[in-house]
A and B are shown apart, each in its own frame.
Chain A
Amino acid sequence: MEKRVRFKSSWLPWLLIAPQMAIVLVFFFWPAAQALRQSVMSQDPFGNNSEFVGLENFERLFADASYLESFKTTAFFSVLVAVCGLSIALLLAVMANRVLRGAGVYKTLLIWPYAVAPVVAGVLWLFMFASPMGVIAYWLRMLGLDWNHLLNSRHAMALIVVAAVWKQISYNFLFFLAGLQSIPKSLIEAAAIDGASPWRRFWTIVFPLLSPTTFFLLVINVVYSFFDTFGIVDATTKGGPGKETSILVYKVYYDGFKAMDMAGSAAQSVVLMCIVIALTVIQFRFVEKKVQY
């Protein structure tokens, strides 16, 4: 079956795509080009004198042991955010899909956190975990756990993961719910008649049919945890204790906007860009083959 729409004129498709292309060029390609240019320059904060230094900024970066360490931190953080975010959202979507009464209310409440800015999300969770007044810190102490994300690196990591996941669940939920609703009911009914348990029906029918959605969300979540989470880190742990929660994008933000090291920050963002391009290519090449559309 031919799904493609065919245009008769040759310029109309270009015209229709032009506004989107303009936005992509101005807001994505132009800043990316700027970052590339700045990463090979050495510049004072005011931009009064800049000098071409070649790859010096990159050499300095990779000579820094703490920078290499933060790759591990970032990988750990991203895997946690993607896995937790996707599985919790899937669970919620499956449950919301079965709700008959008041489904609209549930859905609205679950989508709400997406409207919250990352910094605000960070501050909200920080309040709840703030020792000794925060609600959750208080409960944890009653359970015998002395919560201290200022000095305990595991607690600090847990805090930023919780805040980052909470903010992203809504987005994942929305797509999973749409994906679930587009699964033909007849398939599930047929399996039910054949005697498959709900558990079996989910893993053999629903989950495989959701794989395009899951794959898309995996890419989006990895990009999210790589790029969009610096606000959460800045509001909660500031990369501490030590450098234990200093993920790559937070260091980009810190060096550029707090320490005024534009060149170093640009070099890091170029490295980050390469990582995400590589990850996305890998995902499309290898993971996509397992996806059934």
Chain B
Amino acid sequence: MNLKFVAVTLAAFFSLSAQAQTEIQWWHSMPGALGEWVNDLAKGFNASQSEYKIVPTFKGSYDESMTAAIAAYRAGNAPHILQVFEVGTATMMASKGAIVPVGKVMADAGVKFDSAAYVPAVAGYYTAPNGQMLSFPFNSSTTVFHYNKDAFKAAGMDPEKPPKTWTEVTQAAAKLKTSGHACPFTTSWVSWTQLESFSAWHNVEFATKGNGMRGIDTRLTFNTPLHVRHIENLSNMAKQGLFVYKGRGNAADATFVSGECAMTTGSSALYGSVKRNAKFVGGISTLPYYPDVEGAPQNTVIGGASLWVMSGKKPAEYKGIGQFFAFLSRPEEAAKSHQRTGYLPVTIASYELTEKSGFYKQNPGTDVSVTQMIRKTTDKSRGIRLGNFVQIRNIIDEELEQVWAGKRSAKESLDTAVSRGNEQLERFQKANK
């Protein structure tokens, strides 16, 4: 009933426009400069053919657009393509009736589709255990270390020699503090940078069963002596005023771009914003590590989002979606996107194209995220895929705030976070038997 009504209304509305194009609704969460990028992609695709028209709509932050899409799905009015952040992946995978695997969409559309063309560390995260690609790896980032080269110079340090280990980060922070910086080091996405990527980078498990990649009967393990040591280290830095906590999510990003904080760990996609808005020269380096840990540095884990195709649409529309994904995978398009945004290249060909063009030489630091990811992954570093991940990250934020405030020890907080997080995993496992 509802769907019919909407379809009739839409049909009546669009019959007014001269062309009989098939419209494809795309809900995304890319604000500002990234929103312009999304619009340009749609424009590029729409201009390249006349049969289909991609209509991108900004629906707020990642969780807002996911909620909006779920509400729309329940009302029988979901968009064709939905951008979902990486922590929503397990939820989308579990909701079998609501989505159509991208591998199937591409095959049905008759588009040549070779899953080996995609960067394994990226596409692997969005691939089902049976090898079928479930969602399109649209904008993947990873955790890197950003630093303010001007501030390094002012503190008497070599701006071309960023700290590589956590000991060096502490030393650099101390020098920055002496030179008058009130916020030497901060971090955004505390769980993602300091526990999730930290684990993969040191080749230790964040959760059992290959971090949940091999099954939903996984349990958290981020309270090992190594994790406790790292959180203790950060807590000591916080006591000395070397690490300043700037809030949950990506709240710390703005304090780095404004120049308030001189070093941060965060998404590689912060690159675009630094380049556009910062009044200083920004530098990017690999995530710091502890050199005495065997196997470190390994590789970091991805963040960002992927594109999911919703169920219940017409065959012609799925064909258009397949065409659009093929367009996004073209080496020149994918290379352009990678260079523009700082997100990871989607396909290996686009990475090679970017390298050949000399982009990495002209823009030092932009290759950091790629080299961190294009490595042979291990069972412990392939990625982290957990149910109720949104809640687990929130629990980690809550527990670690107690550490930064000096109210609880690192060990106590991590133990509590693990046991509270495991309750969430047990519930997810029970609900998705």
Contact = CB atoms under 8 A, between A and B. Distances in A.
Contacts of A48: 95-98
Given A47-B74, A132-B260, A42 B401 contact: no
Interface residues on A, range: 20 to 34
Contact of A151 (B66, B70, B405): B405
A216 B391 CA distance: 38
Interface string A247-259: 0000000110111
B388 A259 contact: yes
Given A151-B245, A260-B70, A45 B97 contact: no
Interface in B145-194: 182
A288 interface: no
Interface stretch (A107-115, A235-243, A279-287): A235-243
A242 to B, nearest CB: 5
B100 to A, nearest CB: 13
A46 B95 contact: yes
A260 to B, nearest CB: 6
Q: Provide the main secondary structure of the chain A interface.
A: loop
Contact of B402 (A45, A241, A259): A241
A41 B351 CA distance: 48
Interface in B399-418: 399, 401-402, 404-405, 407
Contacts of A46: 70, 73-74, 95, 97-98
Contacts, number: 71
B21 interface: no
A240 B245 contact: no
A84 to B, nearest CB: 25
A152 B245 CA distance: 12
Contacts of B97: 46, 48
Contacts of A238: 248
Given A151-B245, A242-B399, A260 B67 contact: yes
4 tightest CB-CB pairs across the interface, nearest first? Answer: A241-B401, A151-B405, A46-B98, A48-B97
Interface of A: 42, 44-48, 60, 66, 132, 150-153, 238-243, 254-255, 257-261
26 contacts: A44-B94, A44-B432, A45-B70, A46-B73, A47-B73, A47-B74, A48-B95, A48-B96, A48-B98, A151-B404, A152-B405, A238-B248, A239-B398, A240-B247, A240-B248, A240-B397, A240-B401, A241-B401, A241-B402, A241-B404, A242-B399, A242-B407, A258-B63, A258-B67, A260-B67, A260-B390
Given A44-B94, A46-B73, A242-B402, 16 more contacts: A44-B95, A48-B97, A48-B98, A60-B427, A66-B420, A150-B401, A151-B404, A153-B405, A239-B398, A241-B401, A242-B399, A242-B407, A255-B391, A259-B391, A259-B394, A260-B70
